[in-house]
Amino acid sequence: MHGIAASQPYVIALFLAWAGLMKLFGRRTRAQAGRTALARLTGPARAVPALRLVGLVETALAAALLAPPFHPLEGVAAALMSVGFLAYLTYSHVAAPTASCGCLGTHSRPVDARSFARAGLLLAAALLATAAAGAAPALPSVIALEAVVLLALSAELDRHWLTPLRRLVVRVRRPLAVTPSRDVPLEASLHLLRRSLAYCSASAQITSDVLEAWDEDGMRFVVYGARERTAVFAVPLSGNDPAGVRVALV
């Protein structure tokens, strides 16, 4: 238990250092600080100095937590800062629900449940840190695990790991390829259709939007008006290869 408590100052310090340095040295801080909820709280003209000041306090507290020996008052200071974070997030969620909180610089994500969960985790870590014994060694596995949880709760970083992961899952699982035909959205078939050579060859004659569509024998038939004729496209319901699309002008 003492090892877990002794690990908390490092977890808190790493997060505060990251947040503080982003506020102090972020390339877009000055340009976008006015779009954060802090601008509503302090006024647009004071948003940048306020953001820098918060970053300075976070960096200073992070340095204090990392500098031995650890004193329980440092844990109390981290707990008070976490309570301040929660109060600010509540204000941001109520007063400026579409604005960024500016917690990790000047990202564009509004406050959500993950923001509150992250602040709550920091508060729990700070309270636990106040019980840390000076001689107890920190546990690297605990620090790494909590760091991963904090990263997962940081919506600002989704574009770096969550979005690419979701794209990879779609490419690997190919959900439309194994979905029953009745569940394949028409728009998915039209997207495949418009990429096909068959559609390109007949597009100059098409004079209407989709007139009719039905599924039969693993194919989706899509009907368009085509001048004095009708264009009937056969689009495979499985796979994602535009070469499988066929067209008939009748």
For residue 118, what pLDDT is reported? Answer: 92
Determine the Cα–Cα distance for residues 18 and 104; give it in Å rounded to an integer. Answer: 8
Report yes or no: 65 and 122 within 8 Å, Cβ to Cβ: no
For residue 240, what pLDDT is reported? Answer: 82
For residue 177, what pLDDT is reported? Answer: 54
- Map 111-156 to HEC letters: CCHHHHHHHHHHHHHHHHHCCCCCCCCCCHHHHHHHHHHHHHCCHH
Determine the Cα–Cα distance for residues 144 and 133; give it in Å rounded to an integer. Answer: 20
- Long-range contacts made by residues 140-143, C-beta under 8 angstroms, separation at least 24? 142/3, 142/4, 142/7, 142/11, 143/7, 143/10, 143/11, 143/14
DSSP string over 158-173: HHHHHHHHHHHHHHHH
How many residues does this entry show for the chain? 250
For residue 47, what pLDDT is reported? Answer: 83
For residue 27, what pLDDT is reported? Answer: 75
For residue 223, what pLDDT is reported? Answer: 93
Q: What are the structural domain ranges in the chain? A: 2-169, 181-249
Per-residue pLDDT of the chain (250 residues; tens, 9 = 90+): 677 888 899 999 999 998 889 888 877 777 677 778 888 888 888 888 888 899 899 999 999 998 888 888 898 999 999 999 999 999 988 888 888 888 876 566 788 898 999 999 999 999 998 887 555 678 889 999 999 999 888 887 787 788 888 878 877 766 555 555 557 888 889 999 999 999 998 888 898 899 999 998 889 999 998 888 899 999 998 878 888 999 998 8
For residue 133, what pLDDT is reported? Answer: 58
- Map 49-110 to HEC letters: HHHHHHHHHHHHHHHHHHCCCCCHHHHHHHHHHHHHHHHHHHHHHHHCCCCECCCCCCCCCE
For residue 182, what pLDDT is reported? Answer: 57
Q: Quick one: tokens of 244? A: 């499988």
